Chain A
Amino acid sequence: MIRTIKVVVFMVCLVPLGLLAWRFFGAHPTDMTNWGVGLGANPVEALEHGTGDWTLRFLLITLAITPLRKLLRLPSLIKFRRMLGLFAFFYGCLHFTTYLWVDKFFNVHEILADIVKRKYITVGFTAFVLLVPLAVTSTAGWIRRLGGKRWQALHRLIYVSAIAGVIHYLWLVKADIHKPLEYGAILAALLAYRVVMWQRQSSAARSAAVPTLPRKIALQ
């Protein structure tokens, strides 16, 4: 059952990419002269924004798993968290590749100058780089090798990455900050949930001196 649902979720996660590709290649994918037409007047911008939006969305969806498990009383949601997190990384890779290739055409000088000088690119690059160790250590083998506690501490980097991702969006818009603020509000709610739970946990621990480790693991 879970296996079947996993396949379905996997396919659904590919839909945004499919739609972007569909718009990019159009009805006649072999006709190169028409590539990009379906993405509007500026396909470069459409690809960059499309992949960036979905990176942030998958980060938020991944971070929503823990609260939803509690609130909906669906502990088995945990089984989808790794896949969703890896999809965030996947769309992040597409976003970064679009920037390197389609936008900058691998102009190393300009890219390095961007990363150093443009604070919105510095913070966006940081958000992406922080996801790399999380993707690498997402396997059961790495959880075993690192040990649950250390693994969990490492994977708290997703909080930093998501915050950096929202700041990246906030700093890159010229004047209209509505959309980055929407992402920011959702992220703030997801992080606030954790803060509240940690506080409850530590006060419960102080009064009862109950070992808190199992709950902590479930919390992330």
Chain B
Amino acid sequence: MLIKSSHSDDARSSEITARDMYLNRRKFLAGVGLSAVAATGLGAKELLSPSNMAHAADQIAGLQKSPLSTTENITPMNDVTHYNNYYEFSTEKEEPAKLAKNFKTRPWTVAIDGAVPKKLKWDIDTLLKFAPPEERIYRHRCVEGWSIVVPWIGFSLSEVIKRAQPLGKAKFVEFTSIHDPGQMPGQRQQILDWPYTEGLRMDEAMHPLTLLCFGMYGGSLANQDGAPLRLIVPWKYGFKSAKAIVKISFTDKQPNTTWNEANPHDFGFYSNVNPNVDRYHSQAHEHRLGEFRPRPTLMFNGYDQVAGLYSGMDLAKNY
């Protein structure tokens, strides 16, 4: 078991800091809150890696740093946990933080099916031990035009795909999120066609950047951010990164995806971050939460290493 819970009644210094970060979050970004943080008695090491400070009550042990991480300012955790597009709970972004509070993330199994030699069902706690947990600080860009920088925790999805041993005919991977209207009030309305499904081409799914995520800010993933298990595909718009995954299927045909079915004109299968393609609205700029001025959006959200996956493709057509 990787996740340790703190049962002590005494607040640890790290928890106090998390609250301090919350209260001073924009001051911290502006660089004038450093003295307040220093006053809590933290050393230079913690100041240099703020992701270690603003974490949840539990902590994931043995975290490895990743060369894939960005050094950009991390978005305060309180923003990332109180501004969520999670339609299974609500279409209002402040609501999932409240409505997901008691969401049950254990027991949890992930089914593997489709083009595999053997259908499998993995318990989440078995699956989480497939590889050592890494902290990956990624840019995350929503198709609505806002962006955040989040220290996710997980390992490359390829670690799971390798163990599933997909057959040669497997060309795509489909992810299915949980369907549980009893726990998820948003699913009691047909706003989207539940359950939520997403998909990647096999080479996209095998790319080292593609993260199977189960933690954030040093601790476990918040329920409202997709606990216990979600995908993070940092060069694609956020909706491609399915939350609360219960099934991974390997297919020979391009799978249907929820947003593409809801609005095929605006949301394509690929949905790579692309400042030059503006199906939903202009994607040339984005609002980084905590910043006043919009900043230019980068091709593939700045993850140029994926460009090779799409060489020779017309990205205006394959949007």
Q: Do A and B come from one complex?
A: yes
Asked if A34 and B26 make an inter-chain contact with CB atoms under 8 angstroms apart, the answer reads yes
Q: Of B79-87, B160-168, B209-217, B306-314, which stretch is located at the interface? A: B79-87
Chain B 12-32, CB within 8 Å of chain A: the 1/0 string? 000000000000011100101
Q: Of A15-23, A106-114, A129-137, A204-212, which stretch is located at the interface? A: A106-114
Question: Which single member of B87, B94, B282, B292 contacts A175 (CB below 8 Å)?
Answer: B87
Question: Which single member of A34, A110, A174, A175 contacts B285 (CB below 8 Å)?
Answer: A110
The verdict on A42 contacting B146 (CB below 8 Å), with A175-B191, A175-B192, A175-B262 known, is yes
B289 interface residue (CB < 8 Å to A): yes
A44 interface residue (CB < 8 Å to B): yes
CA distance A102 to B292 in the complex (A): 7
Asked if A176 and B294 make an inter-chain contact with CB atoms under 8 angstroms apart, the answer reads no
The verdict on A176 contacting B87 (CB below 8 Å), with A110-B284, A114-B282, A118-B281 known, is yes
Chain A nearest CB from B315 CB (Å) reads 18
Asked if A104 and B294 make an inter-chain contact with CB atoms under 8 angstroms apart, the answer reads yes
Asked if A42 and B83 make an inter-chain contact with CB atoms under 8 angstroms apart, the answer reads yes
CA distance A44 to B94 in the complex (A): 15
CA distance A42 to B293 in the complex (A): 12
Asked if B26 and A33 make an inter-chain contact with CB atoms under 8 angstroms apart, the answer reads yes
Asked if B282 and A41 make an inter-chain contact with CB atoms under 8 angstroms apart, the answer reads no
A45 interface residue (CB < 8 Å to B): yes
Asked if A103 and B191 make an inter-chain contact with CB atoms under 8 angstroms apart, the answer reads no
Closest residue of chain A to B23 (Cβ to Cβ) is A37
What B residues does A118 contact at CB under 8 A? 281-282
CA distance A111 to B127 in the complex (A): 48
Asked if A103 and B292 make an inter-chain contact with CB atoms under 8 angstroms apart, the answer reads no
The verdict on A105 contacting B282 (CB below 8 Å), with A41-B83, A175-B87 known, is no
Chain B CB within 10 A, most for which of A37, A117, A121, A178: A37
A85 interface residue (CB < 8 Å to B): no
The B interface is mostly helix, strand or loop, or mixed, namely: loop
Q: Number of A interface residues, CB 8 Å?
A: 25
Question: Which single member of A37, A40, A44, A121 contacts B287 (CB below 8 Å)?
Answer: A44
Asked if B82 and A176 make an inter-chain contact with CB atoms under 8 angstroms apart, the answer reads no
Closest residue of chain B to A109 (Cβ to Cβ) is B284
Segment 31-63 of A: residues with Cβ below 8 Å from B: 33-37, 40-42, 44-45
What B residues does A102 contact at CB under 8 A? 292
Chain B nearest CB from A158 CB (Å) reads 27
Question: Which single member of B79, B281, B294 contacts A41 (CB below 8 Å)?
Answer: B79
CA distance A107 to B295 in the complex (A): 12
Asked if A107 and B27 make an inter-chain contact with CB atoms under 8 angstroms apart, the answer reads no
CA distance A33 to B27 in the complex (A): 6
Asked if B91 and A175 make an inter-chain contact with CB atoms under 8 angstroms apart, the answer reads yes
What A residues does B263 contact at CB under 8 A? 174-175
Chain B CB within 10 A, most for which of A40, A117, A178: A40
B278 interface residue (CB < 8 Å to A): yes
What A residues does B27 contact at CB under 8 A? 33-34
Question: Which single member of A44, A45, A107, A176 contacts B191 (CB below 8 Å)?
Answer: A176
CA distance A113 to B293 in the complex (A): 20
Asked if A114 and B281 make an inter-chain contact with CB atoms under 8 angstroms apart, the answer reads yes
Closest residue of chain A to B28 (Cβ to Cβ) is A33
Segment 157-198 of A: residues with Cβ below 8 Å from B: 174-176, 178
Asked if B293 and A105 make an inter-chain contact with CB atoms under 8 angstroms apart, the answer reads yes
What A residues does B262 contact at CB under 8 A? 174-175
Asked if B292 and A36 make an inter-chain contact with CB atoms under 8 angstroms apart, the answer reads yes
CA distance A102 to B285 in the complex (A): 12
Chain B nearest CB from A174 CB (Å) reads 7
Chain B 274-292, CB within 8 Å of chain A: the 1/0 string? 0000101110110101001
The verdict on A45 contacting B282 (CB below 8 Å), with A33-B27, A34-B26, A36-B292 known, is no
What B residues does A104 contact at CB under 8 A? 285, 294
Chain A nearest CB from B283 CB (Å) reads 10
7 contacts between A and B (CB under 8 A): A33-B30, A44-B287, A107-B285, A114-B282, A174-B262, A174-B263, A175-B87
Task: Given A110-B284, A118-B281, output 4 extra A-B contacts at Cβ < 8 Å.
Answer: A40-B82, A114-B281, A174-B262, A176-B91
B residues with CB within 8 A of A: 25-27, 30, 32, 78-80, 82-83, 87, 91, 93-94, 144, 146, 191-192, 259, 262-263, 266, 278, 280-282, 284-285, 287, 289, 292-294
A residues with CB within 8 A of B: 33-37, 40-42, 44-45, 102-105, 107, 110, 113-114, 117-118, 121, 174-176, 178
